[in-house]
Every structure is written in structure tokens, then in C-alpha cells.
């Protein structure tokens, strides 16, 4: 039942994620909203995010993930990241990120920026 | 570049905030307030504890970032006073956050080493006082938005209020650093959008 819900959420998220992302704006959003906890190439309060697009959840080296994220069968496709940023707890119950990005365009921009940083990891 | 004197700020803030300020000796109960659902139910809410622990990690990072800045020799006297004041604020935040987590039956995360923070924050790129102030302003802006961003996620409204109070402190730090950097005033509704 939960998988049905997750799949449905990811489908809805993928529809929302079809908006074109602006990587430049995404970089500014990343700096002002995400960078309190995340860097691209170092684990901080949150895991390093360079190369996150396409990575399996819970696999950034040396980061202390919650049990929920470590056990999740989620691969960080653009749709999955969109669903995560929309509501992390809905996607992976028991995770520890309380922050969300409600606006679909903001999420698309941040994802676009993360994609552009794929080669840094 | 003018560095804002934290003593003046403190005097103003004391007048404005008065008896409403945090009382650390009263710990978590004072922070949460008597209307806290969590304390009333005497049962921890795991999601709230997880968010508080992320906040503890964030505050540890701030404490260590200012420690590194203070040791760097890059700050002049007024900047040093401001860095000490802001670092003390982050320490006070963590005392209260940790007490709250323990009150809720959780286990607070521990700090990493200063060397680990230095590496993760890439402080080797800081070459002068302006670099340090810009770096600190970035951390404070991020922290402000982080606290504002988690407010809707708390199950206990009293904890959401605490996040708002922490965000106010971080925004104050950011505003002073922004002023000292000679940047223009921020537009209305600048944070948390």
C-alpha cells in the first residue's frame, strides 16, 4: 500500500517536475536555502550533494544517514528529488530532514542546478 | 568597513526583549512553554526530535565556524567582539536545543572536530576580514532560512515557535554582518521564501 502511495507521489512529482529548471536561479536558491546544511562536495549536517542525481538514497560515502533513508529503495531521479523536496517525510517516513521546498518552480531550479553539478563528485 | 558593536546591540535588544528572553537555567521546560503538546503528553515525537537534532548539528557548525574565524587572525577588534557574541548565541541555542531533546527522551548528536568543520566548510579560502564576514553572513542566512523552513514540520506548535525565535537571532546576525559588509538593506519578506 505504501509503495502504491510512493509511486503515485513520484508520478505526480514527475508531472510537476516537467517545468524547465533554471540552473542559475537554482544555484542562488541552493545558496540561500540548502547551503545551511548541505555542500556539494562535503558532508555537513546533510550529505554532500554533487552527483546526487541518479544516486541511490543513503549512499553518500561516510554520511550518517537515518535508518529510514539507508533502508529506502529510492534512486534519486529528478522525479524522486522533486518528491523529496516537496515533502521528505511523505517519500521516506522516518527520515530527518524537516525542510521542504513547496514551490514547484523552485524545486525544478534546484534540481537543474544539482544536475549541472553532477561531475563534481 | 564598520563593524557593529555587539554591546550596543545587546543593550537595545535587552530593552526590547526584556523578560521575554530565554532563561537557560529553566532549560527545556521554559523553552517549550506550558502549552507544549509534547510535554503535556510526556511522549516524544520522533520527527520533532529529528528536526531538533538537525538544528543541533547546525548550531555546532556555527559555533565551530566562529571559533575558526576567531583563531584566524583575520578579524579586527570590533569583528572579534561580534564573532564572540554570535558564537555565544549559537552556544546558548544549543544548550536549549540539547536540553529539549533530552526532555523529549531523545539523544542529541555530538559535535565533530574543529578540523572536520574546517575541511567541510573550506575555510582555507578565507584570506581577509571581508572573506570571513561574507562566509559568516552566508551561514547565518542559511540558518535563518533553515529555521523558518522547518516551522511547518514541527508537530508541537511550541517547538515551531522556538524555531521562529532561533530564526530571529540568526536573522539579526545576518543583518549586522550585511550592514558591516556595506551591502544594501534587504527587501521586505527577504527570508524564508
Alpha-carbon gap: A33 to the closest alpha carbon of chain B (Å): 6
Chain B CA closest to residue A106: B193
Alpha-carbon gap: B188 to the closest alpha carbon of chain A (Å): 16
Cell of B50: 529529528
Q: Is the Cβ pair A98, B138 closer than 8 Å? A: no
Nearest-by-Cβ selection for A32 from B51, B141, B153? B141
Q: Is the Cβ pair B143, A36 closer than 8 Å? A: yes
Give the model's pLDDT for residue B124.
95
Chain A CA closest to residue B170: A36
Q: How many residues does chain B have?
A: 193
A27-45 pLDDT, tens digit each? 999 999 999 999 999 999 9
Q: Is the Cβ pair B145, A33 closer than 8 Å? A: yes
> Burial level of B5, CB count in 10 A (0-12/13-18/19+)?
middle
Q: What whole-number percentage of chain B has pLDDT above 90?
A: 72
Question: How far apart, in Å, do the first and last CA atoms of chain B sit?
Answer: 29
Q: Is the Cβ pair A36, B146 closer than 8 Å? A: yes
CA torsion angle for A114, A39, B149, A10 (degrees, to 10)?
A: 40
Give the model's pLDDT for residue A120.
59
B-chain CB neighbours of A35 within 8 Å are 138, 142
A-chain CB neighbours of B137 within 8 Å are none
B119-176 pLDDT, tens digit each? 999 999 999 999 999 999 999 999 999 999 999 999 999 999 999 999 999 999 999 9
Q: Looking at A3-7, A45-49, A94-98, A117-121, which range is the least confident one?
A: A3-7
For range B25-41, the mean pLDDT: 54
Chain B CA closest to residue A99: B150
B-chain CB neighbours of A89 within 8 Å are 47, 153
Nearest-by-Cβ selection for A31 from B138, B143, B149? B138
Max CA distance (Å), chain A = 39
Q: How many residues does chain A have?
A: 121
Chain A CA closest to residue B111: A45
B-chain CB neighbours of A95 within 8 Å are 50
Q: What is the pTM of this model?
A: 0.80
Phi first, then psi, for residue A56 (nearest 5°) are -75, 140
Alpha-carbon Rg for chain A in angstroms: 13
| Residue B43 pLDDT grade (very low, low, confident, very high; cuts 50, 70, 90) | low
For range A100-104, the mean pLDDT: 95
Give the model's pLDDT for residue B139.
95
Give the model's pLDDT for residue B47.
85
- Report how far residue B43's alpha carbon sits from residue B156's, in angstroms, rounded to the nearest whole number: 11
A-chain CB neighbours of B46 within 8 Å are 94
Q: How far is CA A101 from CA A30, B106, B118, B174, B178, in A?
A: 11, 27, 28, 22, 25
A-chain CB neighbours of B47 within 8 Å are 89, 98
A-chain CB neighbours of B121 within 8 Å are 39, 42, 44
Mutate to test the interface with A, among B145, B160, B178, B186 (most CBs of A within 10 A): B145
Q: Is the Cβ pair B57, A37 closer than 8 Å? A: yes
DSSP for A71-101, written as a single string: H---B--HHHHHHHHH-HHHHSTT-------
Give the model's pLDDT for residue B193.
74
Give the model's pLDDT for residue B41.
55
Of A12-16, B20-24, B87-91, highest mean pLDDT? B87-91
**Contact, A60 vs A48, CB < 8 A?**
yes
Q: Is the ipTM of this complex over 0.90?
A: no
Alpha-carbon gap: A97 to the closest alpha carbon of chain B (Å): 7
Amino acid at each position: 500500500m505504501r509503495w502504491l502511495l510512493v509511486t503515485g507521489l513520484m508520478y505526480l512529482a514527475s508531472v510537476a517536475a516537467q517545468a524547465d529548471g533554471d540552473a542559475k536561479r537554482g544555484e542562488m536558491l541552493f545558496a540561500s536555502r540548502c547551503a545551511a546544511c548541505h555542500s556539494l562536495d562535503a558532508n555537513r549536517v546533510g550529505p554532500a550533494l554533487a552527483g546526487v542525481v541518479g544516486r541511490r538514497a543513503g549512499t553518500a560515502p561516510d554520511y550518517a544517514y537515518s535508518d529510514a533513508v539507508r533502508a529506502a529503495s529510492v534512486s534519486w531521479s529528478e522525479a524522486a528529488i522533486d518528491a523529496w523536496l516537496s515533502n521528505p517525510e511523505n517519500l521516506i517516513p522516518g527520515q530527518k530532514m524537516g525542510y521542504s521546498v513547496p514551490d514547484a518552480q523552485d524545486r525544478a531550479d534546484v534540481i537543474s542546478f544539482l544536475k549541472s553539478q553532477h561531475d563534481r563528485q | 568597513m564598520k563593524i557593529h558593536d555587539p554591546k550596543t546591540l545587546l543593550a537595545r535588544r535587552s530593552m526590547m526583549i526584556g523578560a521575554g528572553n530565554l532563561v537557560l537555567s529553566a532549560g527545556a521546560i521554559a523553552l517549550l512553554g506550558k502549552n507544549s503538546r509534547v510535554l503535556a503528553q510526556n511522549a516524544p515525537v520522533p520527527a520533532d526530535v529529528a528536526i531538533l537534532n538537525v538544528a543541533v548539528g547546525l548550531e555546532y557548525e556555527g559555533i565551530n565556524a566562529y571559533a575558526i574565524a576567531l583563531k584566524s587572525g583575520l578579524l579586527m577588534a570590533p569583528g572579534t567582539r561580534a564573532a564572540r557574541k554570535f558564537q555565544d548565541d549559537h552556544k546558548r541555542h544549543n544548550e536549549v536545543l540539547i536540553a529539549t531533546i533530552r526532555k523529549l527522551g531523545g539523544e542529541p548528536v555530538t559535535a565533530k572536530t574543529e578540523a572536520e568543520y574546517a575541511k567541510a566548510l573550506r575555510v582555507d579560502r578565507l584570506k581577509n576580514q571581508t572573506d570571513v564576514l561574507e562566509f559568516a553572513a552566508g551561514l547565518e542566512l542559511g540558518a535563518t532560512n533553515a529555521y523558518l523552513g522547518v516551522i511547518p514540520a514541527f508537530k508541537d506548535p511550541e517547538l515551531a515557535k522556538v524555531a521562529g525565535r532561533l530564526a530571529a537571532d540568526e536573522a539579526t546576525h545576518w543583518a549586522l554582518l550585511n550592514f558591516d559588509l556595506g551591502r544594501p538593506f534587504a527587501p521586505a519578506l527577504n527570508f524564508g521564501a
